[in-house]
Amino acid sequence: MPIEVQHQNSTKIIMKILPITLLWISAFFNGSAQQTAFPEFDNKPSYNDSKKNRLIDLEKAAYSTMAKANGLFKAEGGFFLPGTSSSTKIAQQEKLQFIVKVTPGTDPTSIFDLAKFEVRKDNRVYITTKAKATSTTTSTPKIIYDVRKIKEGYYYLETNSLEKGEYFFGANDFMYAFSVE
pLDDT of residue 35: 67
One domain for residues 82 and 153:
yes
| Residue 114 pLDDT | 97
Q: Which tens digit of pLDDT belongs to each residue from 168-179?
A: 999 988 999 999
Residues 84 and 167 in one domain: yes
CA–CA separation, 112 and 108 (whole Å)? 6
How confident is the prediction for the chain on average, in pLDDT? 83
Claim to verify: residue 27 and residue 52 sit in the same structural domain: no
Same domain, yes or no, for 5 and 73? no
What is the pLDDT tens value at each position of the chain, 181 positions in all? 555 545 455 555 555 554 454 444 444 444 334 567 888 989 999 999 988 889 999 999 998 888 888 777 888 899 999 999 999 999 999 999 999 999 999 999 999 999 999 999 999 999 988 888 777 676 678 999 999 999 999 999 999 989 999 999 999 889 999 999 9
79 and 167 together in one domain: yes
Range of the domain at 118: 36-180
| DSSP 8-state secondary structure symbol assigned to residue 42 | B
For residues 88 and 29, state if they share a domain: no
- In this structure, the answer to whether residues 84 and 154 fall within a common structural domain is yes
Question: What is the model's pLDDT at position 13?
Answer: 52
- What amino acid is encoded at 169 in this protein? F
| DSSP-H helix ranges across the chain | 3-32
Same domain, 16 and 73: no
- pLDDT tens figures, 103-136: 999 999 999 999 999 999 999 999 988 888 777 6
Amino acid letter for position 155: Y
Kindly state whether residues 28 and 40 are assigned to the same domain.
no
pTM metric for this prediction: 0.76
Does one domain contain both 116 and 102? yes
SS (HEC) of 102-138? CCCCCCHHHCCEEEECEEECCEEEEEEEEEECCCEEC
Burial class from Cβ neighbours inside 10 Å (0-12, 13-18, 19+) for residue 103 reads exposed
